[in-house]
Structures are given as C-alpha cells and as structure tokens.
Structure 1
Amino acid sequence: MRFAHRTLRAIGGAAMVGALVLGTASAASADATRDKQWQNKAFDIDAVHKVATGKGVTVAVLDAGVDGEHPDLTGSVLAGKRCSDGQPANREVDDDHGTGMASLIAGHGHGAGNSQGMLGMAPDAKILPVDIYKTDGGTIGEARPVACTVGEAIRYAVDQGADVINMSLSNDYAGADTKDAIAYAIAHDVVLVQASGNDGVENNSGIGSTPGIAQVGGSTQDGSRWDDDNGGSNYSKQLMFTAPGKDITVATSNGDFDDADGNSHKGDYLTTDGTSMSSAVASGTFALLKQKFPDYTPGQLVNRIIKSTYIAKGVDKSKLPDAYHGYGDLSPLKALTANIPKGDANGPWDLSSLPKASGDKGKAAGNSSDAASDSSDSDSSNMLLYVGIGLAALVIIVVVVVVIVVSRNKNNRGGPGGPGGPGAPGTMPPPAYHQGGYPPQPQQPGPYGQQQPPQWGPPRQ
C-alpha cells in the first residue's frame, strides 16, 4: 500500500490524488482493530445502528479499486468499473486506498458475530467502486495520471444507481464537465462528498468549492480541527463540516505497503491520518440518512448534519460556519434522530451558478460515440414526431373546412333567408389559438440562512 505523508499537489485539471497521509502501521489483531476505531465509540455506533445501517443504499467510491474479497467487505462490493480498461474495479493490486475508504463506509467485520475487523458507518450498504486511475499504485511526489475525469466518474456512478458518491481525492480545478456532472447528480438526488485535503492551507478552488458538494475537513478525538506536524486539514469558505481524520484505522487489501521513505510494511490494517477518512466517514453517515429519509434531497440531508453538529470546546459557535470548522463536527446519531425541519430542497447551497442538468439518467454510461448516436436518434425521432403532428393538424383543418362548405351549400340550396340572408356564405375568421402551457415555475428561495448548531454532540473519548 502507498500512503503519502502529505496530499500530492494536483497537476492541472486532470491529476487527482488520495487525500490521505501515513500514520503508524501495525500488524494488529482483528480484535485490536475494532478497539482502535475510536470514532465508533464517540458516535455510540451501536445506538446509531439501531436506527439505520445503510440497507438498500449504494455508495460509490471514486478512488483506486476496492478489494471485494476482503473479509470485512465480502458481499458488499459491486463490480464497478476501472476507467482505464472498462473492467470491474472490485479488486486492488498495489494501492489500498479505495479498500481503506470502503471499509470505513461499509465494513461489516468478520468472525463470530462479525465482532472482529472493521465496522463501518453503514455496514449494510453496498460499495460501487470506480477506479479513476490509469495505473495501480502511486508514490510520494508522483503525479498520479487518471483514466477518466471526475465528471465522467460522477455520471457513471449516478447511472449505476449510486445514492452517495465519496471522493477522497484532491482536484484543484472544476471545469464545465465537472459542474455539469455535479448538477446531474443533484438532479438525481445523489449526495456528493469530498475531502478538503491535507496540506493545512486555505483552498477555495476545485471540486469542493462548487455548490452541491459536501466538503469535509478533518477532526481529532476531541472534535477540534486536525492540525499537527504530520499535516493538517485544509480550510476554505466552502467547508461544510468536519469528521474524524486523526488516528483512523482502515483495512488494507494486500497487506503490503510502502511509506514515504520507501520502507515496506506488512499488516492487515493501518492506522493513519487524513481528510480522506473524514470524507469516507461522512459518506457512510449520508448512507444512514438516505436509508431513514429516502425522499430527502441532498441539500436536506446536509441540512440535518449541519443542524446537529458537535461543537468542540474552544470553538466559538456564534461565529460558525467558518473556514476551519464549517458548521461543526459530525454527530451521526443526532443527525438521524433530532427533530430537525426538512428545510428547503437546496439546503445550504445556492445552486443558481450550476448549469441546468443535461442528459437522461443512463445516457452517460456510454462513450462519446454512443452519446452522439443517442443525440442523433433523438433529433430524428423529434423531427418525425413534429412532422406527424403537423400532418395530423392539416388533415383536421381540411376536414373542418369541407364540413363547413358542405353545410353552407346545403343551406343555400333550400334554407331560409336566401342569398345574403341569415344562411348566406361569407368569410369566417380562423378560430382563436388557445394560449396553453404550464404555469410559470415558482422562484427558488434565497440562499440558506446561517444556522447556529447546537452546543452538544456525541461523547468524545
């Protein structure tokens, strides 16, 4: 496995990397692994899972592949797709990042009663892996080439039935294709979650700066922002909330990974830092919310999270949201159970800057030639439809005219009044065209008001 000390800088608009940094590796036993998941204790995960487990929800992981044969993930990983060759992405070779994120989202454990190994936020959810990279693996200081854009990967995930899309990756540029894909996902009620990054700097560009993205920063065990010598959570004006990102244990696929110094380590699990994990934990939480509130829009689900956050000691809640904490730290149980109004469909976002969603669901899964063919077929079908309607209208007009003429001729031949009388022929004005159509759509409400989160969240160990 290759995890970097710091997030690799994105090169241009296409290069993206996992927002993850190396912590400490250990060949811990599965029981010890479960014990190390401090975030589950803080969240009271047993109480959370009495409310929802993610059953019936699919979470797409835009990352490297995911090991579908890992004992903590067996039966939970769909085939997905590798962008490089179109083959299934439910395996990993040299990079365990995708498997690690999947284990935080939907790990169900193994052994007697599934009491060992990773227990994710939504253990009954399904994982749809989308391997976006051209090559397996990647090392520190290396620009990781991608085989498909974020926009293409988002559209594929939406078309395959994803309810939530996790993006534990960094991208400093969001072009028209990406924004169009974001609009497409929002239009199909798919939640988009992205890691803020690990350089400890301000970053107001890229995917996370786009309305419709739930950008997540990293937090520590006491709920405060993660920021130490090994890295730190990036901050921005668009940061929505924080979630655990310090000393987080994840599953590995092949048990072999290299650190930033080139040293090889072995172990079934890894304890590490980074906003990649924060994003994955948040995505798992959204899967729980999707199960309990299936008719909510992405904005309304985000609304539940930001109105139920935990406010760490020393954080001035009167100044939230801010660039470092967003609206506060994730509190899954309160998000699931608190009495929170459904709110506006757009939640905290002003989506007016997004393009109008284009394309029907299912069209984007094909290649560009398929899309061109679909468009051509659609245009041809529309043209035939219009021609048919026009011919039908012409026939009806002709029939009406004939009926009128015949009727008048009969009246003139024997009807009362004679020429120029009540039954005399004359010019008839055309029937008035009825101005039909749909009533104008109501205007969307203005931007979401800045709500103050409550004082208390989950207990912190």
Structure 2
Amino acid sequence: MRFAHRTLRAIGGAAMVGALVLGTASAASADATRDDQWQNKAFDIDAVHKVATGKGVTVAVLDDGVDGKHPDITGNVLPGKRCSDGRPANEEKQDDHGSGMASLIAGHGHGPGNSEGVLGIAPDAKILPVDVFADEGGAIGSNDKFACEWDESIRYAVDQGADIISISISQTYADDVAKEAIAYALAHNVVVVQGSGNDGTDEKSGLGSVPGVTQVGGSVQNGTAWEDESYSKQLMFTAPAKDIIVATSDGGYETDDGQFIKGDYVTGDGTSMSTAIASGTFALLKQKYPDYTPGQLVNRVIKSTYIAKGVDKSKLPDAYHGYGDLSPLKALTANIPKGGADGPWDLSALPKASGDKAGGASSPATDDASSASKDDDSSNVLLYVGIGIAALVVIVVVLVIVVVTRNKNNRGGPGGPGVPGTMPPHAYQQGGYPPQPQQPGPYGQQQPPQWGPPRQ
C-alpha cells in the first residue's frame, strides 16, 4: 500500500486514518489471509451472515479509488467517480487505501466456495467509490490536495443512492457548508461514518464533531481502546483497528520510501479499518431495518456494545471507548427499542439541508419549501381561473350585444344568417381550426423523477 507507517497520508490538515504495518501479509496465501481475520472470528461472522449480508445496500467510500478487479471484491464495486476528472473510480491501479477499505466492507473472498481471501462484514453490499484526491499515486506528502470539497462528495454519494457513507479520512475542520451536507445526508436516511484518527490527540473540530456523524475509534483484540486512536467526546463506539488484513490495488503496494512490493494483501493498523468495519455493520443493519433512521441504527449499535474487561461501564460513554466496542451480531438480533428518530444526537443546531436529492422526492428538510411552492402554485391556479371566468363573462356580454344589435338591424327581414336567435358556427365546425387540446395543470401529466443509476 502507498502509506507510511502510523501516519498514512497528510493532506492539508487531513490524514488517512489507518496506519500500515508493511509487508506482514505480502507472502501469505489467500486461505491464510482468511484465517488471519481475527475480527471476523470475534464477531462470529458466520452467525452474523445468517442474519444479514448487506444485500441491496450501497456503501460510498470517500477515499482513494478502488481496484474493482481485485478477486475479493469483483462484482461489488460500482463505477463511482474520481473528483479530479469525473472518470470512474473503480479502476484504481496506484493507491491502495480505498481498495483496502472496500474489502473490509464488502469483500466476498474468492476460490472454492469463496473460502479464500478477505471476507468483509457485508459481502453482498455494493461499493460506490468516490476518489476525493486531486492526484493519483506519487510520493506521500502534505502537498497532496483534495479535488472536491466534503459537501460535494457527500452530496454526490447521497444522490447516487448510497445508504452509508464511509470516510476513513480525518480532518481538523467542518464548515457550515459541510454541516449542511451532513444534514442533507441525514434528511435522506444516509448514515455517515468517520474514524477519529491515529494521532492519539483530542479530536474536537472535524467532521466527526458534527452531530449526525458516527465517529468511530479503534480497539484491539481484547476490546479495549487502541493506543494510538484519537479520542473525542463525540466518539460513539470503537471497532477493530489493530492487525487488520486488507486487499491491495493492482497486485501490490508501495512503501513510503517508494519501494513496490508484490502481494494482494497487507496488514494495517488504524481507525481507517475501524471505520470500514463499522460501515459494513451499518450495511447489515440497513438491510434488516430499512425503515430506521441513521439515529435509530446508531441507537442499536451503542445499546449492544461489548464492554471489555477493565472498562468501567458506569462511566461510559467516554472519550476513549464511546459506548463500548462494536458487536454486530448483538446489534442485529438484540431486543432493542427503536427509539427516537435522532438517536443519541441533538440535531437542533444542525443547519437545514439545502437542496433536494437529484431527481428524487422531497426530504423532511425541504418539505417547508415544497409546501410554500405548492401554496404559490395553488394561488396562481385560482388567479388564472378567476381571470378566465371574468374573460368569459366579457365575451358573453359582447356576444349578446352583437346578437341584439344584429336582430335590431335585421328585424322583419328574410331568414338566413341574420335569422333571429341564430349564430354563425364556430370555425372548427366549418372545417377550419381544430379544437385546441386542454393543457395539463401544474400537477398533471408530470414525468416520473429521474434517479441516478439503479441500485444493483
């Protein structure tokens, strides 16, 4: 993978939130790769997949592009978009982080019975890759730039039908425009997940600090917090972050010193991995509870967490553990009340979502505007009807005057066009102009909304 050890990628205040222990999986066979996925054993992944597999759910990965031809994720990766040039983002050959995260979310493995390679938490989910970076490949450095802003990439993912947005990138800012994009996602029932980071510092002001964003920390094999996770009062829960094996792009990865090492897999540490695993879990929950809001899905997770030995449950949530460690099977099956729409968040300070899903139906955030528009339309219709009636009355009066005048002029004369009580036929009755078809009203004969590409 094209990452440095511990700090993956520094990008103008942003960083990939996964660190890499390079080379530990490069020589492993595919079946050994499956055996090394300790988090799946801890989750009892076979039991999990008897309940849900993420079928019918789309997870947007805002990251590098994804190598959609990797055998463990082939068929599960939609075209998506590279922000730098608008081309598909499912043909990544140089950067690996996005492919790694996609494999943790929706890897289905390969070989006999798909028994080899990486098995993701939601193997039947679809990945919508959104490559947010301006440059492909090259050395890692602080000069790397984004090609699209957070609001652009989030709105694109929502408009393309994403159910979950997975962001394994941390940053130190979240402006009002980004907050509006979060509100837009929530208004369309899209879960937004972001990792807390790997700096071991207090995360206060990034996207994860915005109400409505599910911020995830890292844990180790015993369920306690990973030592390098960034901590935060907004942390919701932790998920596995240590010694996590992932897929690479184009059959290898590049070390931070520019050396290319062949291998389809590599092992890494970081809350990038926690984010992907959490996003896959939300895909499972979305499949089983499709009518739940993001807040209600998060509610199921935080009320089903595993509390590791030595963690004081009475003091949770705290900045290092949130409400505890992720437990997918319990989140799927436990008897947990649905709860309020906002879940654990106070969304009152969140800006209203601006705009509506491209080609889609109105959202709660735009209902007021839609109602106002409908009221205006209704007023206009009444106005036009009134004008039409007035015009009709005038025409009738004029016609009556004309008839009366003609009758006076032809009174006592012979029959014919001037015979009392008769009027010339309308033009269309004489083979002239055809009758004009009635025009549909403002709500009649509308075209169905044009959504984005169908979900596969």
Q: TM-score range by the shorter chain?
A: 0.7 to 0.9
Measured at CA, do residues 300 and 138 of structure 1 come closer, stay the same or move farther in structure 2, by a change above 3 Å? Answer: farther
- Report deviation, 1:268: 1.2
Give the counterpart of 2:319 among 319, 323, 329: 323
Distance apart, 1:385 and its partner CA = 7.2
Q: Which residue of 2 aligns with 1:226?
A: 226
Residue pair 1:202, 1:236 contacting (<8 A) in 2 also: yes
Aligned to 2:189: 189
Q: How does 1:410-421 map to 2 (within 5 A)?
A: none
Classify 1:50/1:11 alpha carbon distance in 2 versus 1 (closer, same or farther; 3 Å): closer
Corresponding residue for residue 287 of structure 1 = 283
Asked if the contact 1:66/1:129 (under 8 Å) is kept, the reply is yes
- The answer to whether the Cα contact below 8 Å between 1:151 and 1:180 also exists between their aligned partners in 2 is yes
> 1:291 deviation in Å?
0.3
Match in the other structure for 2:439? none
Q: 1:2 is paired with a residue of what secondary structure? A: coil
Match of 2:80 in 1: 80
Q: SS of 2:193's equivalent?
A: strand
* Aligned alpha-carbon RMSD (Å): 2.5
Rounded Cα–Cα distance in structure 2 between residues aligned with 1:306 and 1:380: 40
Q: Could you list the per-position Cα deviations for residues 163-221 of structure 1 after superposition, in whole angstroms to 9, with x for gaps in the alignment?
A: 00100001211112211110000000000000110001111111000001000000000
Q: Which residue of 2 aligns with 1:22?
A: 20
Cα distance, 1:380 vs. partner?
11
Note the C-alpha offset of 1:20: 1.3
**Alignment partner, residue 66 of structure 1:** 66
Distance 2:16 2:264 in 1: 20
| Residue 142 (structure 1) shift | 2.8
Judging changes above 3 Å, is the alpha-carbon distance between structure 1 residues 320 and 383 closer, same or farther for their aligned structure 2 residues? closer
- Alignment correspondent of 1:174: 174
In the other structure, the counterpart of 1:411 is none
Return the offset for 1:253. 1.1
Deviation digits for residues 235-276 of structure 1 (CA, Å, limit 9, x no counterpart): 011011000000000000123323334444221100110000
Distance across 2 between alignment mates of 1:236 and 1:380: 42
Paired AA for residue 153 in structure 1: S
Label 1:333 to 1:265 Cα distance change in 2 as closer, same or farther (>3 A). Answer: same
Distance 1:347 1:162 in 2: 20
Tell me how far 1:8 sits from its aligned partner: 5.9
Shift of 1:356: 1.0
Q: Secondary structure at the match of 1:133?
A: coil
Identity %: 70
What is the CA–CA distance in structure 1 between the aligned matches of 2:119 and 2:8, rounded to whole Å?
A: 28
Q: Which runs of 4+ in 1 moved over 6 A?
A: 379-385, 397-401
Aligned pairs (5 A) from 1:110-259: 110-137=110-137, 139-227=139-227, 232-259=228-255
1:38 corresponding residue in structure 2: 38
Call closer, same or farther: CA 1:397–1:355 in 2, change over 3 Å: farther
> 1:223 and 1:345 mapped to 2: Cα distance?
29
Gaps of 5+ in 1: 365-378, 402-461
Higher mean C-alpha deviation, range 47-56 or range 20-29: 20-29
- TM-score w.r.t. structure 1 length? 0.79
Match of 2:102 in 1: 102
- Secondary structure of the residue aligned to 2:306 is coil
Retained in 2: the 8 A contact 1:7–1:197?
no
- 1:10–1:382 CA distance, 2 compared to 1 (3 A): farther
Could you say which residue in structure 1 is the equivalent of 2:404?
Answer: none
Distance 1:52 1:264, change over 3 A: same
Tell me how far 1:394 sits from its aligned partner: 4.6
In 2, Cα distance between the equivalents of 1:398 and 1:343?
57
CA distance in structure 2 between the partners assigned to 1:257 and 1:152 by the alignment: 29
CA distance in 2, matches of 1:33, 1:247: 12
SS of the aligned residue for 1:240 comes to: strand
The counterpart of 2:331, out of the listed 332, 335, 356, is: 335
The whole-number CA distance in structure 2 between the counterparts of 1:348 and 1:153 is 25
Structure 2 counterpart of 1:390, from 366, 378, 383: 383
Matches within 5 A, 1:369-448: 387-395=380-388
Cα distance in structure 1, aligned partners of 2:8 and 2:37: 26
- Residue 91 of structure 1 deviates from its aligned partner by 1.2
Q: Distance in 2 between matches of 1:11 and 1:255?
A: 25
Match of 1:298 among 285, 288, 294: 294
Task: Tell me what 2:435 maps to.
Answer: none
Q: How does 1:362-373 map to 2 (within 5 A)?
A: 362=358
Q: Is the 8 A contact 2:106 2:123 kept in 1?
A: yes
Q: Distance in 1 between matches of 2:67 and 2:202?
A: 34
Q: Is 1:3 aligned with 2:3?
A: yes
Residue ranges of structure 2 left out of the alignment (5+ in a row): 361-371, 395-456
Q: How many residues align?
A: 383
What's the offset of the Cα at 1:387?
Answer: 4.3
Q: CA deviation at 1:323?
A: 0.4
Q: Aligned partner of 2:279: which letter?
A: S
- 3-state DSSP class of the match of 2:214? strand
What letter corresponds to residue 296 of structure 1 in structure 2? Y
2: distance between equivalents of 1:204 and 1:164? 23
Q: Residues 346 and 383 of structure 1: is their aligned pair in 2 closer, same or farther, counting only changes over 3 Å?
A: closer
Q: Which amino acid aligns with 2:325?
A: D
Q: Which amino acid aligns with 2:382?
A: I
Mapped to 1, the partners of 2:200 and 2:194 lie a distance apart of 16
Instruction: Give, as a single letter, the amino acid of the residue that structure 2 aligns with 1:392.
Output: V
Amino acid at match of 1:292: K
